[in-house]
């Protein structure tokens, strides 16, 4: 079985009604792993998790937001995947998973892309470090923003060559 993954830029989950709406959608979509970007929360506890996903066996880890922006939350169904290791960086959260059904191991990275050009090099360093540490197949969520930046030339040109190890 292949886990079903949802990536969503929620633009904040401070509002209880918004969390209830997300909870309702997660229930109807029947996903196994959820990556929410731009949570805008500095801290996340079991109460927040329960208000988002009413799963009995849910695991989670998060990258706290910086002031009123950013934040990444990764949640998973523990009956589908087991979290082996996590790594929380400045702009990303990475998790290695092992599928319960077949034991296949893989990695997922949730990204909150920095808006300041000089900070983007830190993001590339995070990716390079993780890629070299975990020799596993990868799933990157929210990566399309980075590709669109490459195409539109918004400060990432010249970094295209750095994608080669991740795309092979």
Binding residues for Mg(2+) are 9, 38
SS3 54: coil
SS3 83: strand
Alpha carbon distance 161, 146 (integer Å): 13
Give start and end residues of each alpha helix (H) in 30-89.
46-52
Residue 80 contacts residue 100 (beta carbons within 8 Å): yes
Mark the binding-site residues, compressed into ranges.
Answer: 9, 38
Tell me the two tokens of residue 52: 């988002």
Tell me the two tokens of residue 118: 């000089």
Integer angstrom CA distances of residue 24 from 51, 53, 56, 137: 10, 8, 15, 31
Residue with tokens 């109807």: 28
Alpha carbon distance 99, 101 (integer Å): 6
């Amino acid at each position: 079985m292949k886990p079903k993954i949802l990536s969503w830029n929620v633009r904040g989950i401070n509002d209880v009604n918004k969390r209830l709406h997300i909870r309702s959608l997660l229930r109807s979509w029947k996903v196994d792993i959820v990556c929410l970007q731009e949570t805008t929360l500095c801290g996340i506890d079991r109460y927040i998790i329960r208000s988002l996903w009413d799963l009995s066996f849910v695991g989670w880890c998060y990258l706290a937001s910086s002031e009123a922006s950013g934040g990444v939350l990764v949640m998973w169904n523990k009956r589908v995947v087991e979290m082996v290791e996590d790594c929380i960086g400045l702009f990303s959260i990475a998790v290695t998973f092992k599928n319960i059904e077949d034991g296949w191991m893989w990695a997922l990275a949730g990204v909150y892309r920095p808006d300041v050009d000089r900070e983007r090099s830190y993001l590339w360093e995070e990716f390079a470090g993780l890629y070299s540490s975990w020799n596993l197949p990868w799933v990157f969520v929210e990566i399309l923003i980075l590709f669109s930046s490459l195409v539109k030339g918004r400060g990432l040109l010249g970094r295209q060559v750095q994608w080669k190890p991740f795309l092979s």
